[in-house]
């Protein structure tokens, strides 16, 4: 396929580009700066500027763009960036797709979203049919997903990737915790009873390419592993893998001092299952946390 991708330079995007190219697809990467390679094209999503011809040439559009949620302490300015970096890119792509003649529209828009959609579910298990929850990230996910609507209304298949917490040593959930765990100064967050919907990098990549190819699948898809764990369980398993103790719990108050507004989200419990992927008979390479 000819694939147009936004967010191709990010933690997930760089690995997805590598896999798609290795599988024989042609990937064109959208960048905000001046292009530096033949596979890059410039756009300005903050001003809703995108050449429609680029979209018309694509069989599929993938949008993974968005400022990192856990990259820095939250303040009002950074929270606004988290929101606009997702909504502006999604809206620009969806409106451009909808504005093309029907014969020129791509077959599918695969757009990032997140399990933040569900808010705090406590111990309650949820799948894709659950309504949006409450909180900042739930509000972001609601407007983020709504921004895909023009493409969907134009008859294009839209897949919304409600991604969990990716596991990879170079980023996601593991990288910021690797050093303190290796030093033996880590432990559960708060009570440790909150549920973590993790996904291995291999399974995230395989699920995304699976959804690109499956013309019968659309709408929200929970891209999470089939066996969520609590933060306490995650802590014990991560420490076991590193052969280190993890006996120093981090109190909720300390998290709030260190992380600001993000602390509440870090303590949120989201017990999510991959309902769509399970029903579509997707095979997880890493069905549980130890194998991941």
Question: Does the pLDDT at position 264 exceed 70?
Answer: no
The CB density around residue 37, as the number of other CB atoms within 10 Å, is 7
Q: List the Cα angle 120/84/268 in 5-degree steps.
A: 15
Q: Residues 8-19: what's their mean pLDDT?
A: 96
Residue-level pLDDT at 259: 54
Residue-level pLDDT at 156: 98
Rounded CA-CA distance 226/7 in Å is 26
Q: Residues 153-160: what's their mean pLDDT?
A: 98
Q: Give pLDDT tens digits for 66-80.
A: 988 876 777 889 899
Residue-level pLDDT at 131: 96
Q: Rounded to the nearest 5°, which phi and psi values hold at 223? A: -95, 80
What b-and-e string marks burial along 47-61, b requiring 16 or more CB atoms within 10 Å of the CB? Answer: eeebeeebbbebebb
2 neighbors 24 (Cβ within 8 angstroms): no
Q: Does domain 2-166+200-224 have CATH number 3.40.50.1370?
A: no
Residue-level pLDDT at 261: 55
Q: List the Cα angle 208/97/127 in 5-degree steps.
A: 40
Q: Give pLDDT tens digits for 178-224.
A: 787 888 877 888 788 999 999 999 999 999 999 999 999 999 999 99
Residue-level pLDDT at 255: 54
Q: Give pLDDT tens digits for 84-108.
A: 999 999 999 999 999 999 999 999 9
């Amino acid at each position: 396929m000819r694939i147009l991708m936004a967010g191709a330079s990010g933690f997930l995007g760089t690995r997805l580009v590598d896999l798609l190219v290795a599988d024989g697809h042609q990937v064109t990467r959208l960048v905000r700066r001046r292009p530096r390679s033949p596979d890059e094209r410039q756009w300005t999503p903050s001003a809703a500027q995108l050449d429609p011809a680029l979209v018309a040439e694509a069989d599929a559009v993938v949008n993974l763009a968005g400022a990192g949620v856990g990259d820095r302490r939250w303040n009002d300015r950074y929270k606004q960036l988290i929101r606009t970096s997702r909504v502006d890119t999604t809206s620009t792509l969806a409106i451009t797709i909808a504005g093309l003649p029907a014969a020129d529209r791509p077959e599918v828009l695969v757009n990032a979203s997140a399990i933040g959609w569900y808010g705090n579910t406590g111990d309650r298990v949820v799948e894709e049919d659950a309504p949006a929850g409450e909180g900042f990230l739930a509000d972001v996910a609601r407007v983020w997903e709504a921004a895909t609507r023009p493409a969907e209304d134009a008859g294009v298949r839209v897949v919304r990737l409600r991604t969990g917490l990716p596991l990879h040593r170079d980023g996601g959930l593991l990288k910021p915790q690797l050093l303190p765990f290796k030093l033996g100064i880590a432990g559960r967050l708060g009570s440790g009873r909150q549920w973590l919907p993790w996904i291995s990098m291999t399974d995230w990549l395989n699920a995304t390419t699976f959804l690109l190819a499956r013309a019968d699948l659309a709408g929200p898809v929970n891209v999470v592993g089939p066996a969520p764990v609590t933060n306490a369980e995650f802590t014990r398993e991560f420490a076991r893998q590193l052969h280190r103790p993890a006996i120093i719990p981090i109190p909720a108050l300390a998290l709030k001092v260190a992380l600001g507004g993000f602390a509440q989200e870090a303590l949120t419990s989201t017990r999510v299952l991959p309902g769509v992927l399970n029903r579509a008979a997707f095979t997880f390479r890493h069905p549980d946390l130890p194998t991941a």
